Structure 1
Amino acid sequence: MELRSLRYFVAVAEELHFGRAAARLHMTQPPLSRAIRHLETGIGAVLLHRSPAGVTLTPAGAALLDEARSLLDQADRLRVRVAAAAGAASITVGILGDSTDRAATRLAAAYRARHPDVEVHVRDTDLTDPTCGLRAGLVDVALTRGPFDETGLVVHDLRADPVGAVLRADDPLACHDHLELADLAGRHWFQFPDGTDPIWRSYWNGGEPREGPVVRAVQECLQAVLWNGTVGMAPLGHTPPEELAVVPLIDMAPSRVVAAWNKGDPNPLIRSFVQIAISAYRG
Structure 2
Amino acid sequence: MELRTLRYFVAVAEELHFGRAAARLHMSQPPLSRAIKRLEADVGALLFARSPVGVTLTPVGTVLLDEARALLDHADHVRVRVSAAAGAATITVGILGDGADPGVARMAAAYRRLHPGIDIRIRDTDLTDPTCGLRAGLVDVALTRAPFDETALTLRALRTDPVGVVLRADDPLARRDQLRLAELNDRRWFQFPQGTDPSWQAYWNGGRPRQGPVVRAVQECLHAVLWNGTVGLAPLGHDLPADLAVVPLIDMVPSRVVAVWNEGDTNPLIRSFIEIATAAYRR
CA contact (8 A) 1:158 1:259 kept: yes
CA 266–213 in structure 1, closer or farther in 2 if over 3 Å, else same: same
1:264 aligns to what?
A: 264
Deviation string, structure 1 residues 140-162 (Cα, Å, up to 9, x no partner) = 01000001111111100000000
CA contact (8 A) 2:83 2:117 kept: no
For the residues of structure 1 that align with 2:258 and 2:39, how far apart are their CA atoms? 29
For the residues of structure 1 that align with 2:201 and 2:77, how far apart are their CA atoms? 39
For the residues of structure 2 that align with 1:253 and 1:170, how far apart are their CA atoms? 26
For the residues of structure 1 that align with 2:202 and 2:81, how far apart are their CA atoms? 43
Unpaired runs of at least 5, structure 2:
5-33, 48-63
CA 105–254 in structure 1, closer or farther in 2 if over 3 Å, else same: same
For the residues of structure 1 that align with 2:124 and 2:151, how far apart are their CA atoms? 22
2:25 aligns to what?
A: none
1:164 aligns to what?
A: 164
CA contact (8 A) 1:79 1:268 kept: no
For the residues of structure 2 that align with 1:261 and 1:80, how far apart are their CA atoms? 25
CA 241–62 in structure 1, closer or farther in 2 if over 3 Å, else same: same
CA contact (8 A) 2:92 2:122 kept: yes
For the residues of structure 2 that align with 1:77 and 1:161, how far apart are their CA atoms? 39
- Give the C-alpha shift of residue 100 in structure 1: 2.1
Match of 2:201, SS state, is helix
Larger Rg: 2
For the residues of structure 2 that align with 1:101 and 1:60, how far apart are their CA atoms? 31
Unpaired runs of at least 5, structure 1:
8-55
1:123 aligns to what?
A: 123
For the residues of structure 1 that align with 2:260 and 2:143, how far apart are their CA atoms? 7
CA contact (8 A) 1:130 1:146 kept: yes
Aligned residue runs from structure 1 range 8-157, under 5 A: 63-64=41-42, 82-157=82-157
1:175 aligns to what?
A: 175
User: Once the two structures are aligned, what percentage of the paired residues are identical?
Assistant: 69
CA contact (8 A) 2:144 2:258 kept: yes
- Normalising to structure 2: TM-score of the pair? 0.73
Deviation string, structure 1 residues 156-180 (Cα, Å, up to 9, x no partner) = 0000000000000011100000000
- Give the C-alpha shift of residue 265 in structure 1: 1.5
CA 76–101 in structure 1, closer or farther in 2 if over 3 Å, else same: farther
CA contact (8 A) 1:80 1:269 kept: no
CA 166–84 in structure 1, closer or farther in 2 if over 3 Å, else same: farther
Number of residue equivalences? 229
Aligned residue runs from structure 1 range 237-276, under 5 A: 237-276=237-276
Determine if the alignment matches structure 1 residue 194 to structure 2 residue 166: no
Deviation string, structure 1 residues 27-80 (Cα, Å, up to 9, x no partner) = xxxxxxxxxxxxxxxxxxxxxxxxxxxxx99x878634999xx99xx9899678
2:229 aligns to what?
A: 229
CA contact (8 A) 1:80 1:268 kept: no
CA 78–156 in structure 1, closer or farther in 2 if over 3 Å, else same: farther
* Alignment RMSD: 2.9
